[in-house]
Amino acid sequence: RVQLNSVGKQVSQCVRGHAAGCAKYVAPAATKPSLPLVLAGRTAAAIRLLGPEVSKGDAPTPFAKRANDIFFPPEAVADFPVSMQISEKYEVVYMITKMGYVHMFDLSTGTLIYRNRISGETIFVTCFQDANEGVMMVNRKGQVLPLSIDETNIVPYTSTTTNN
């Protein structure tokens, strides 16, 4: 469970999830950012990526709440998210799992951009890297694993991979 706390409303709420992250998102035709909350959690049936809007911006169309199922390969059926980091610059959600998989999603649509196993060891800590809008991870063996977006290849890769 993830506990959410609203300072303004002085209220807290528990929601199902293993990892969560927030980011400022400026929708097309908006001047004020909205604040979507991205949650990832495992249920008995599936792992889902959810994206409700916590704070509304001034976009003509509000940020749409999404619920996307996340695919895991057969060898990772017991895997679950341990960290969620969000790049506001690239509008990309990095979801890192215990078994060393990285899933990258488009923030506005929840579309999977990239998925790969980057470590055969358990990932136990991650942090966002402001310098390159990427993620640093440390696995059980103490290996430091950096991950960032290659600006020269992201658009061609995304265009061919997601057909978008």
The pTM of the full predicted model, rounded to 2 decimals, is 0.84
Going residue by residue through the chain, which has 164 residues, state the pLDDT in tens, using 9 for 90 and above.
777 777 778 888 887 778 888 888 888 888 888 888 888 877 655 566 666 677 777 887 777 777 788 888 888 888 888 999 999 999 899 999 999 999 999 888 888 888 999 999 999 899 999 999 999 999 999 999 999 998 888 877 777 777 66
Residue type, 96: I
The greatest distance separating any two alpha carbons of the chain, rounded to the nearest whole angstrom, comes to 49
Place of tokens 């303004």: 8
For residue 126, give every residue at least 6 positions away whose Cβ sits within 8 Å of its Cβ, in sequence order, or none.
82, 83, 85, 96, 135, 136, 137, 138
C-alpha distances (whole Å) from 121 to each of 104, 118, 126, 144 are 19, 9, 14, 12
Q: How far is CA 116 from CA 22, 42, 59, 64, 97, in A?
A: 23, 19, 34, 27, 11
